[in-house]
Amino acid sequence: MTADVVIAGAGPNGLMLACELSLAGVRPIVLERLNGQTKENRANGLVGQVVRALDRRGLYERLSGGAEPPRPSPAFVFGAMPLDLSRLDDNPMYGLPVPQHRIEQVLAERALELGVEIRRGHELTGLSQDEDGVDAEIAGPEGSYRLRTRHFVGADGGRSITRKLCGIGFPGVTRDDSVSRGAHVTVPAELIDPVTGGLNVPGYGPIPPFMHHRTDHGLFVYAPFPTGTLVHATEWNQDGGDQPMSLDELRDSVRRVLGVDLPFGPPEGPGPHQLRRVSGGNTRLAERFRDGRVLLLGDAAHVHSAIGGPGLNLGLQDALNLGWKLAAEIHGWAPPGLLDTYETERRPAAERVVMHTQAQSALIAPGPEVTALRALFTELLRDERTTKHIADMMSGADIRYDLEGTHPLTGRPAPDLVLETATGSVRLAELTRTARPLLIDLTPDAALAGALDGRRDRVDLVTAKTSQDGVPTAVLLRPDCYVAWASDSLRPDAKEHDTLRTALASAFGAAR
Ligand SMILES: Cc1cc2nc3c(=O)[nH]c(=O)nc-3n(C[C@H](O)[C@H](O)[C@H](O)COP(=O)(O)OP(=O)(O)OC[C@H]3O[C@@H](n4cnc5c(N)ncnc54)[C@H](O)[C@@H]3O)c2cc1C
């Protein structure tokens, strides 16, 4: 066996998984067919609960460049309709406007720090597996070679060769009735509203920033990101052609969508700059996320419209879910069936993204019936509960993994706790950076430590106090920061000790 885990693909999700495995004491090899990091601009940022998850690994600070913890965004957009999130008591919508190439750079740096071997210019070409391991065939710069590994993960994108080599189907729909054009541009300063930051388009009127803007003829987006201003126009029932994309083509499309000219020029600054035409799109979900010792991750397992930017919220959390389970399998303490819960937990999350991106695509389409549907949705969104429902869905905050236990936090992401420990005040997000399972005991007598006997090699204990109201008195956290067990008792009784031991066994295996 050359490796415990080989990952195909050094995209964001493959790199995140590599970091998680390394934190858990497994050294993966990452194969990437490209010689260097791609300069292609895809995601413009991270949206949803993944921002908190990255904070819990110390990666938020690296990406934001500041020391402040993440804060929820006061506004977002659903199907080109504004969501006023400032009204919500418990706003789940976090955002981090960082381009994907920077996210990949930060994840690659972190992976290398953690000792991951990234082989660039090495392309997966074949796969076979037996009971004990997987043989990968690779075309490298010095010729073809084979690697034998205990587990193989395909994080090789929507056209995943891993998925194809395993014969896993990718059912779904391909739409070819839309053309989306986008580019980094410079907009004349006199068109920018100094108060709202939006555009005042001559002959058309104000268009707010970042809010998708639907007209009778298509969709327009003006997005002044710190790294550059993006203008996008989407039209329906059009053939994008195959000539190279140009700013003039975007100008023509914006004119058709808005009905007036928007003056703009080429972008300033070093780039990389976007100039892209995307025709149609795919919504597909892999039939299975696992084939024996081979697993699919990120876009290899699911693709969908980029509307609302849910891709990395989904894929990076797939990686957080899979990393510790795969490591547990390799270390030999995984309880039976743990690795299968990767799919049972993450498939519903992917299905939900498929549902809301398709719903949003329907809501931005042209036609009077859609306009009527939007009027109805606008009325519904005046109700705070509807806004909360949509925000929870888009951010992934409504995920509840099916774990045994009756506490309302069981199966949900951990709340943001501030703990007073013997060494001072600390945010939970600072305690989870090692990616170790944690039992947080806030009971006055620190009564729960004994439950960890036989599992102290796997589960860390934090005893602390808190002055926060409405938080549990004890929480058992998985490495992906989902709650495996929680209690509100100040003095847990024998029954609660038993339920804690059951939760420890089902997440972290038998005591040794
Ligand atoms: C236009 C656009 C806009 C988007 N906007 C957003 C957004 O705002 N927010 C958001 O969260 N998401 C967005 N997404 C989605 C996001 O970009 C993807 O979900 C994300 O890139 C998936 O990451 P991945 O690591 O799974 O796959 P990829 O990023 O596709 O990486 C796969 C890697 O595998 C490598 N590879 C492929 N085949 C092989 C092989 N045989 N051997 C070795 N290596 C191989 C590839 O070279 C690549 O580096 C957008 C996507 C698009 C297309």
User: 197-240: per-residue pLDDT in tens?
Assistant: 999 999 999 999 998 999 999 999 999 998 889 999 999 988 88
Percent above pLDDT 70 for the chain: 100
- Omega before residue 272 within 30° of 0, cis: yes
pLDDT at position 41, please? Answer: 78
Q: Report the distance separating Cα 235 and Cα 307, nearest Å.
A: 14
Which pTM was predicted? Answer: 0.96
- What are the structure tokens assigned to 286, written together? 């892999």
pLDDT digits (tens, 9 = 90+) for 430-473: 999 999 999 999 999 888 989 999 999 999 999 999 999 999 99
pLDDT in tens, 24-42: 999 999 999 999 988 777 8
**Residue 311 CB–ligand 1 contact under 6 Å:** yes
- Contact between 310 and 357 under an 8 Å Cβ cutoff? The reply is yes
pLDDT at 457: 93
CB 161 within 8 A of CB 167: no
Q: What is the pLDDT of residue 417?
A: 95
- pLDDT band of 348, cuts 50, 70, 90: very high
Asked if residue 77 has its Cβ within 6 Å of ligand 1, the reply is no
Closest C-alpha to 475, from 506, 455, 454, 504: 504
Instruction: Please choose from 34, 98, 100, 279 the residue to mutate so as to test ligand 1's pocket, defined by most ligand atoms within 8 A of CB.
Output: 100
Please say if the pLDDT value at position 416 is more than 90: yes
Burial of residue 386, with CB atoms counted within 10 A of its CB: 0-12 exposed, 13-18 middle, 19 or more buried: middle
Residue 343 confidence class, pLDDT cut points 50, 70, 90 = very high
Residue 510 has pLDDT above 90, yes or no: yes
Task: Please tell me the distance between residue 99's alpha carbon and the centre of ligand 1 in angstroms.
Answer: 12
100 lines ligand 1 (CB under 6 A): yes
pLDDT, the chain, mean: 96
Which amino acid makes up residue 418? V
Region for residue 203 given its phi and psi (left: phi exceeds 0; alpha: psi -120 to 50; beta: otherwise): left
pLDDT confidence bin for 272, thresholds 50/70/90: confident
Residues 367-389 pLDDT 10s: 999 999 999 999 999 999 999 99
8 lines ligand 1 (CB under 6 A): yes
Q: Is the CB of 11 under 6 A from ligand 1?
A: yes
Answer for the pair 7, 298: CB distance below 8 angstroms, yes or no.
Answer: no
Closest-CA residue to 474 (of 501, 455, 454)? 501
CA distance 209 to 267: 17
C-alpha 59 to ligand 1 mean position (Å)? 19
Q: Which atom of ligand 1 is nearest to the CA of 9?
A: 34
pLDDT of amino acid 40? 79
Cα 145 to averaged position of ligand 1 atoms, centre (Å): 25
Atom of ligand 1 nearest to the CA of 138: 42
pLDDT of residue 122: 98
Q: How many CB atoms neighbour CB 340 within 10 A? A: 12
Distance 105 CA to ligand 1 centre (A): 14
Does residue 158 contact residue 297 with C-beta atoms inside 8 Å? no
CA angle 56, 67, 224 (to 5 degrees): 95
Q: Which atom of ligand 1 is nearest to the CA of 50?
A: 11
pLDDT, tens digit (0-9, with 9 covering 90-100), for 41-99: 789 999 999 999 999 999 999 999 999 999 999 999 999 999 999 999 999 999 999 99
What is the model's pLDDT at position 451?
92
End-to-end CA distance of the chain: 26
Strands (DSSP E) along 367-482, which ranges? 418-421, 424-427, 438-441, 460-463, 474-477
59 lines ligand 1 (CB under 6 A): no
DSSP state of 69: P
* CB 350 near ligand 1, within 6 Å: no
